[in-house]
A and B are shown apart, each in its own frame.
Chain A
Amino acid sequence: MIKDITIGQFFPGQSIVHRLDPRIKLLLTVIYIVMLFIADTFLGLFAGIVFLAAAYAISQIPLKMILKSVKPIVPLIIFTGILNLFFITTGETLIKFWIFKITTGSIKTAVFMIIRIIALIIGTSLLTYTTSPIALTDAIERVLSPLKKIKLPVHEVAMMMTIALRFIPTLVEETDKITMAQKARGADMESGSLIKRAKALIPILIPLFVSAFRRAEELAMAMECRCYHGGEGRTRLKQLHCALRDMYAVFISAAFIALVIIIDRVNIF
């Protein structure tokens, strides 16, 4: 039941995509997103999808995982599709009823948006599939480190993210345990009205919060005992290194984004 939640959806592997420097992967993801949004023609978008497909092929992430990443946003996709379909009014009118009209322009935009969103989700999922949450927060910390200049607590934020990620499985397990214990006392969580069900969550949420605070306190104490005092002067166990493969990856991505721009300029479709 509750164990099926995947937040850190890391899918371990040994492919080149997995071994890329997480900072580079972060950068490439940004490039990819830009690529999707400057593509204004179907051919341009197609180039973006080829790039994505190639990346997935190299990373050896199973097809099942791709579908899994799209599933939760299906309602969003449908919603965006419908909005675009009805509220874009460019092009020739095809069907008209009441205040709605469907035009060639609206169909084109709707299809475009749908493809874009799907490609966006699948693409960003590749980042989380091939990068462990810890590596990712490391990368974020490094990428954002210039912001330290303006007194932004980058290290602290990254540490908080790491700790949060670390405790998700623990809390899930704890929720399971508490749920079982309350069920054993006859708590009924499966029937009744919405309000009744929401109320039935109280016996689970309160103990969960209490224990989360207790854990936080214990962890803070343990960290202080080991003289943790923030990021200042702290070295790392795992240094991030840019290798030759990272250069290649950047080069290939740059080539792709150039290709997308050229296709759009030529505008053959």
Chain B
Amino acid sequence: MAVIETENLTYVYGEGTPFRKVALDNVNLSVEEGELVGVIGHTGSGKSTLIEHFNALLRPTSGNVFIDGERINWDEKKTLRDIRFKVGLVFQYPEYQLFEDTVYKDIAFGPKNMELDENEIDRRVRETARLVGISEDMLTKSPFDLSGGQKRRVAIAGVMAMEPKVLILDEPTAGLDPKGRETILEMIHHYHREKKNTVMLVSHSMEDVAKIAKKILVMNDGRLFCYDDTKKVFERADELNAMGLSVPQITRVFNRLKEKGINITEDVYTVDFGKKLVEKVMEMKK
């Protein structure tokens, strides 16, 4: 069943002013439940605008958004909050939204807004803290005393604790060192495996997306360029290059190897898989 659907979704910034800009142009798309989707596109392609529609923060200029089969009704303010609980959105640099005096309270902010009872809140806070690798003794600390990477994990946990049907993360690895990126990606992957919920990961790092996403959604100039399996999307390397995106480095390496006439039938988009393949080829050569 489709958990997110859009129908002719169009969004225009600054309508009626000289700064008018079409940010989303007639986007039709349907995301199935339980997918792990990577959303890519270069700066200004409309990916952030798109995801802000999914939890009713932006009202489309025209067209509709369906969450869980239900049309978002912007005239009924009460229902919008329920949608925000269903679709959790983690913004870019989410660590700047931390405000409580302890990590525990900050993670509990979302669940509290859902008016859950104390026990349930407690369970969710502890569970998500464990999921993102925040130890029990850190829960009583001030979030402002944590390191950058820890802060970010706490902020992500704050949204995860609402147990949304769909979790959307906007550039969750931006500005982190390679190890921090690795941890965050691993954490998201782990969350997806454990919860079986839909996850959307916005990024412009192909490597990040290729590593964990099963499907990829490509935005270009406010339009939906394609939404398909990771493998099929990276097969269109030339088109992606033309719009200023690239396929992962490892894919480029293997594409060149193929051009050179080495017999590789499979597509490679992660280093691990590439390594295995190389080993196999070496094995055969022996």
Contact = CB atoms under 8 A, between A and B. Distances in A.
Interface string B89-120: 11100101111000000000110011000000
B55 A186 contact: no
Taking chain A's interface residues, is the majority helix, strand, or loop, or is none over half, making it mixed? helix
A197 interface: no
B53 interface: no
Given A177-B91, A180-B91, A186 B96 contact: no
A122 B241 CA distance: 56
A180 B57 contact: yes
B84 A183 contact: yes
A206 B99 contact: yes
A219 interface: no
Contacts of B98: 207
A181 to B, nearest CB: 4
Contacts of B94: 181
A177 B97 CA distance: 9
A207 B97 contact: yes
Contacts of A202: 99
B114 A203 contact: no
A3 to B, nearest CB: 10
Interface residues of A, number: 19
A187 B52 contact: no
A197 B113 CA distance: 14
Contacts of A203: 97, 99, 109
Contacts of B55: 184
A244 interface: no
B158 interface: yes
A58 B55 CA distance: 50
Given A203-B109, A210-B144, A184 B96 contact: no
A207 B110 CA distance: 16
Contacts of B84: 183-186
A4 interface: no
A224 interface: no
Given A180-B91, A203-B109, A210-B144, A186 B99 contact: no
13 contacts: A180-B52, A181-B94, A183-B84, A184-B89, A185-B84, A185-B110, A186-B85, A186-B110, A187-B109, A191-B77, A203-B99, A207-B97, A210-B99
